[in-house]
Amino acid sequence: MMNKNGLREIKREATAIALADAAYELAQERGLDGFIVDDVVQKAGYSRRTFANHFSCKEEAVAAAAISFKNVSEAEALMREIPAETTPLEIFYRLMKMQLVEAHIWKLRELVSLSKRFPTVEPYMLSAFHRLQLSAEEAVSTVSQGRYPSMYTHMLAGAVYGAVLPILEGNVKLRLPGELAADDPEAVTFEQYLETMFGYLRGGF
């Protein structure tokens, strides 16, 4: 049975996700200059005080929406099933497939686009992506149980997540759900990009 602290944490996370999603949707609909925090809390159904308990400003909330996961428990269960002898690179591969499903790529891309139009978003965007990388590092370290130096895991995480940035910046022609291959024959799916990326990493370039 889940204890009160566990239930409280689940509720807190659900509140943060609701506020972040509301901010993100408003940013898409109106642009960052087209709404204020009051609009966010009204849309999400919370108070300004609740918002302040989670975010310092609307930009932070918008950025948080791009890395919010509603299936955290499912992801944690999948991580527990990874054999202890699995290499860090293969753990990162599984994490990438869990973290960066198409819906999150869409959001992260939109976040990068927003940061270019509204520079005040950029530091929060970078912070959000950094948190994504750090959470992966922590997960890899937990599964690896200290079998690899922390420096190795840190450098590997930098290589893996650095390879994702060209997708988010739009420098790689990526075909996402709803986009037809005929529209851009050179575009690849995220799955194809991921396999190519990890193929290079496994082979040592």
Q: DSSP for 15-47? A: HHHHHHHHHHHHHHHH-GGG--HHHHHHHHT--
Q: What is the pTM of this model?
A: 0.77
Query: How many Å apart are CA 188 and CA 166, to the nearest integer?
Result: 13
**What does each C-alpha distance from 46 to 19, 22, 37, 49, 99 come to in angstroms?**
8, 11, 11, 8, 27
- What 3-state DSSP class applies to 180? coil
The H or E element containing residue 103 is: helix 102-117
The yes-or-no verdict on residue 22 having pLDDT over 90 is: yes
Q: Which of 36, 53, 44 is nearest to 18 (CA)?
A: 44
Tokens representing 103?
């819906």
Residue % of the chain over a pLDDT of 70:
85
Average pLDDT, the chain: 83
pLDDT at 2: 46
The yes-or-no verdict on residue 191 having pLDDT over 80 is: yes
Q: In the chain, where do the E strands start and end?
A: 174-175, 188-189
Q: Which residues contact 125 (CB under 8 A, 6 or more apart)?
A: 63, 66, 111, 112, 114, 115
Query: How many Å apart are CA 60 and CA 41, to the nearest integer?
Result: 14
